[in-house]
Amino acid sequence: MDDLIIALPCGFSVKYKEIFYQKGKFPCPVCKSHSITSQECLNMTRNKMIINEFNFDQKKKTFTRCLKKFEICKIDPKSFIDESYENLKNHLDIRREEIKLIADRKIDDYYEKLLKIIEDEKETKLNEFETRIQQIPSLEQEIMDLEIQNTTEITKKIEIIDCYCAKIENGIKFLNKAKDDLITNNWIFNPGDDSFEMESLFGEIDWKEDSKTVEINDPFVDEGFDGETFQQSIYNFSKLNREINSTSSFKAKNSEWKILVNLNEDSKGDKTLGFYLKCILTKALNDLSLNVTAELRLLHLVDHQKDYAKVFNKVFIKDNYAWGFNNFISLDEIMDQNKGFYNLEKNYITLQVKLKFDDPKSSPIPLKEKKVIGSVKWFNVKNGYGFIAINDKNEQIFVHESAIVKKNTNQKKKSLAEGEQVEFDIVFGKKGFEAANVTGPNGKSVQGSIHAMNTKGKRKKRAKSYCAKDDTESEGEELFDFEFN
């Protein structure tokens, strides 16, 4: 694209890249006798035709690549189908094992509960029997002491014998009841119903509702806006979670860009929308940087005067990372129907990015020195930054964890150990000179701080940067240590 020959209003011709990256009005790069704008040149009919022809050729090439991939699928479509469903089957297998563990645990827990009832009952019986045992000696003594006096007259004697027999009968009943209560179990087990809803326990296979995005093939420019504007609608918004969702990519300044979104929590525990811009510079720009002013907007459904926006300025270099806001706007504000951001019926919101670029030719990577050797003066793992003392120089360089390109693989968080030797480049950042491309000596991995050892299960905190601001001095937050697809 950069090498396309573009006509100028004066009749001369130049390469596309010589006018496209210019801002505002600039002198004609050939005749120098008049001023032009890049948009004025690009709007010329002949230039539109050239650009359209180029885009036409690019789309045909893209179609050819897609056709080749399709032809590969035609060779063995069943294997591609099997592969695409393998993950689903794996989820089922995992769930089956989970259900087995859940069922075993619940069965064991309930079994132990029933055993506890039995043990409690046995303990109660034993206590009752021991109480009766204590009553036996007195009962036995009382029965054995019963004697019939021969001197008693017959009528009285009959009454005494009846009374004694009744006492003996009660003693027999007492003994039999004590014995029967001891050896008799009055409990029975009633098996439960074998039928239950497996679907509610195991789960079901549902149609996957992916997050849909508005396809944008070519950039469009707002009237009166000297830059490029892209927007994407996020459907199934109510299902947004902590996982980073990446929209379809768009191209600007010969680089690929993506909008990233996720659900976060602010310091108060309230849910917020994370809104970021990801840049992937092309090989042609590997030795350049893009100085970008980005306006991230949540669009109002009806009145764009009520859009919600935050702005940051960032120099994107060849590293593949994103920049934006962890807490762009609260979820409550988005879902509030009076605010007008969320379409409840269709379950979507629309995000927009407005980009303004400085000429990359005037923004080379601000490199001061390469392959510098130094030792780490100190490094705060929690805050993610520190200083490196340059060997043989009375100079210290600021270093941020994002500059570490080869971290200790045994550590989850990027860090540096106090006193360790490192190799790095020195670049000019927003606040002065700072370290970049930090590694151990000879490009090896850094040692890292002992305070950054892996802590399984702990949530990784994102480091904050103060370079992104809007009109209300909102704090920008960069995503570090994030793997992009």
Tell me the pLDDT tens digit for each residue of 335-383: 999 999 999 888 889 999 988 877 544 444 456 678 889 999 999 888 8
Residue 331's pLDDT is: 93
Q: What pLDDT score was predicted for residue 236?
A: 86
Q: Is residue 334 part of a domain?
A: yes
- For residue 231, give every residue at least 6 positions away whose Cβ sits within 8 Å of its Cβ, in sequence order, or none: 214, 216, 299, 350, 351, 352, 353
Q: Are residues 346 and 274 in the same domain?
A: yes
Q: Are residues 306 and 371 in the same domain?
A: no
pLDDT tens-digit series, residues 429-448: 666 678 888 999 988 889 88
Does residue 322 lie within any of the structural domains?
yes
Domain boundary among 138, 166, 189: 189
CB of 351 within 8 A of CB of 296?
A: yes
- The answer to whether the CB of 245 falls within 8 A of the CB of 211 is yes
Residue 273 has pLDDT above 90, yes or no: yes
pLDDT band at 42 (very low <50, low <70, confident <90, very high): confident
Crossing angle of helices 77-144/154-183, nearest 10°?
A: 160
Which CATH number fits the domain that encloses residue 380?
Answer: 2.40.50.140
Mean pLDDT of 298-308: 89
Distance in angstroms (rounded) separating the CA atoms of residues 475 and 372: 32
Within this chain, do residues 345 and 378 fall inside the same structural domain, yes or no? no
Residues 305 and 373 in one domain: no
Check: CB of residue 273 under 8 Å from CB of residue 259: no
User: In the structure encoding, which two tokens stand for residue 431, read together?
Assistant: 């606040």
Tokens found for residue 350: 């629309």
Cβ-Cβ contacts under 8 Å for 255 (sequence gap 6 or more): 279, 280, 281, 282, 285, 290, 316
Kindly state whether residue 466 falls inside one of the protein's structural domains.
Answer: no
| Distance of alpha carbon 306 from alpha carbon 253, whole angstroms | 29
3-state secondary structure of 368: strand
Residue 366 CB partners (closer than 8 Å, separation 6+)? 289, 315, 427, 428, 429
Q: What is residue 38's predicted lDDT score, i.e. its pLDDT? A: 82
Of 362, 384, 410, at which residue does a domain stop? Answer: 362
pLDDT (tens digit, 9 = 90+) per residue, 406-436? 888 888 788 999 999 999 988 876 666 788 8
Three-state secondary structure call for residue 86: helix
Tell me the per-residue pLDDT of 20-39, one tens digit each, with 9 for 90 and over: 767 788 888 888 888 888 88
Query: Residue 274: which CATH number?
Result: 2.60.210.10
- At which of 335, 362, 389 does a domain end? 362
Task: Give the amino acid at 46.
Answer: R
Confidence of residue 172 (pLDDT cuts 50, 70, 90): very high
- 304 with 384, same domain? no
Mean of pLDDT over the chain: 79
- SS3 per residue for 124-173: HHHHHHHHHHHHHHHHHHHHHCCCCCCCCCHHHHHHHHHHHHHHHHHHHH
pLDDT of residue 115: 92
Neighbours of 472 (CB within 10 A): 6
- The answer to whether residue 413 sits within a structural domain is yes
**Number of domains, the chain:** 4
- The answer, yes or no, to whether residue 333 has pLDDT greater than 90, is yes
pLDDT over 90 for what percent of the chain? Answer: 16
Residue 459, pLDDT above cutoff 70: no
Tell me which residue range forms the domain holding 127: 110-189
User: Is residue 154 in some structural domain?
Assistant: yes
Give mean pLDDT, residues 467-480: 35
Q: Which of 129-138, 158-167, 247-256, 290-299 has the lowest mean pLDDT?
A: 247-256
